[in-house]
A and B are shown apart, each in its own frame.
Chain A
Amino acid sequence: MKKLSARRRHPLAAVVVLLLALAATGGLYAAFAPASKAQADETSQSLAIDEGKKLYAVGCASCHGTGGQGSSDGPSLVGVGAAAVDFQVGTGRMPAATSQGPQVVKKKNIYSQAQIDQLATYIASLGAGPNVPTSAQYGPEGADIAKGGELFRTNCAQCHNFTGKGGALTEGKFAPDLEGVDPKHIYEAMQTGPQNMPSFPDTTLSEQNKKDIIAYLNAVNSDETVNPGGLELGGLGPVSEGLFAWIFGLGALVAVAVWVAARTAKAKKS
């Protein structure tokens, strides 16, 4: 220490101190960098909330109220979570053109994913709810298709039919066909229960269960589906199959019988 103190007036001392100070600043910066990044995240978060609020005021507030509290035309959005927004807006169901009719149907989505995310962030800020799932949650890795089939038949098939082709409900409502629906949206629908669909929260249908169900749907109801039985006839079960057999199968037999009997075998045509 004495040695160091003795050299404090050395011409290079200032340089050394400067270097040490720089290193310390750098080290301190490195140590606190994540914190400041979080700061930045929070800023972008509040920015997204602001942007989402503006979008909300234009597209949603007329029915759901200026603060998401709901009105006679639309339910409260407090606590529905980002997943519900991503599903409803991402599938084009919201904003609904009208609240008339049995149910709001899927249509062309008019928002960019970035705008949907901003809206979702705003709605999520009103009250805690399910988050938008990540692709690791709904992706095919580690999914058990057979288990998914069992779970689908227990929980979903009563309305969506055995392979997700959909079906009728009361008073004009229906469960939609699940073919071509984004796995993320299927996951969100199970989490949030849009419109008359009951929800299947993680507490009763685990994340893994949901992943299995999505993998099953991809196996039986998508472009890549191989159908060993031949024509699937809408995949609606015995009704369409019976109709096909009766009309086309028996119809062909009747036509052949008529054709055979209508042609006379006689040499002299009468």
Chain B
Amino acid sequence: MSSQDIPEENLPAEQGHAHGAVDVADEQNPFADPGLPPHEHRIQDIDERAAKRSERTVAFLFTLSMLATVGFIASYVTIPPDRSIFVFPIGHISALNFALGLTLGAALFCIGAGAVHWARTLMSDVEVADERHPIQASPEVRAKVFADFKEGATESALGRRKLIRNTMFGALALFPLSGVVLLRDLGPLPEDKMRHTAWSKGKLLVNMNTNQPLRASDVAVGSLTFVKPEGLEETDEEFQNEIAKAAVMIVRLQPDDIKDKQELEWSHDGIVAYSKICTHVGCPISLYEQQTHHVLCPCHQSTFDLSDGARVIFGPAGHALPQLRIGVNPEGYLEALGDFAEPVGPAFWERG
């Protein structure tokens, strides 16, 4: 149906056709502003039955949303959290999650769809043009504002009462200091915390799987073991902060395969202990390849060679992984011979 088919008396009152001046293109000005196109009616503007139909559609969508919200509450109350159902093609999923997601999604979607349909079919769609105008105020207004300002300056006597002026400047200048002082709450400064870990001389290497000290004879060539310093328990309040720095991986190489002299000195019979924290941005890395002795960081692919002092052989890391110097005590247990010689993890300003 088009507007031509509608009898004249059914059409609503004509909107003003010309919004602003319409130039006519001629020889001098071939790109003249054609002005806004004339307004066209929607079927809902013309046909009351169509308008009613749109109204019912919008109301239906809003009602559907209400029902979906009721359904959300009902499924929250009635469905036990551990019930699982099979939904094609997703598979076995939690019935509660599925019902909550579906009803919440439907409730929100129907509100949006109803609002869009309402705006597009029933709300006024008459084009409104707001012509641009100069930003500058009129000369009279400008003159009045300047005069008012001058008068205000004179009346406040700011220029004459210098004591008031200076103390006011002082008050305004000092006030932001309270905000600056509050910045102290960002501290205290880390001091030398970044240079020290929970490792120290004589601390046994405790296997994180068994929570038992690790013997040198337990560690096979080609194996990978994670250890924590003796005395650090997972139940400790500071455990996460401490293990973030003290995490260590133990691997055993053939002593002949170790190329770096210091690594060999700091190892025990081919057993080497390296920090598990990447020196790039501190991701935990332990993607150890036992044939190549490479350790890969999953975050940015920095690769370290554990047979050559954990030298960086690929990727953005700036330092070799710090090595923990280990030995074996008279009972055969592995022990640290001190803390890491350098800070573990990413570099920082004062690291040097």
The interface of chain A, by Cβ under 8 A from chain B, is: 151, 154-155, 158-159, 167, 169-170, 173, 175, 193, 195-201, 203-206, 209, 225-232, 260, 265-270
Contacts and interface: CB of A to CB of B under 8 A. Distances in A.
Nearest to A266: B40
A225 B296 CA distance: 30
Chain B interface, >50% SS class: mixed
Interface string B195-228: 0000000000001111000110111101111100
A209 B215 CA distance: 18
A221 to B, nearest CB: 13
Interface string B244-287: 00000001000000000000000000000000000000001111
B219 A268 contact: no
Given A209-B209, A266-B40, A204 B94 contact: no
B121 A265 contact: yes
A144 to B, nearest CB: 13
B81 to A, nearest CB: 8
A152 B252 CA distance: 21
Given A170-B314, A199-B290, A204 B41 contact: no
B329 interface: no
B287 A227 contact: no
A265 B122 CA distance: 10
A230 B105 CA distance: 15
B292 interface: yes
B286 A226 contact: no
B294 interface: yes
B226 A154 contact: yes
A265 B41 CA distance: 9
**A-B pairs, 3 with minimum CB distance:** A198-B224, A228-B94, A203-B218
A151 B225 CA distance: 11
A231 B98 CA distance: 11
B252 to A, nearest CB: 9
Contacts of B207: 204
A173 B292 CA distance: 11
A159 B223 contact: no
A230 B3 contact: no
Contacts of A267: 1-3, 40-43, 45-46
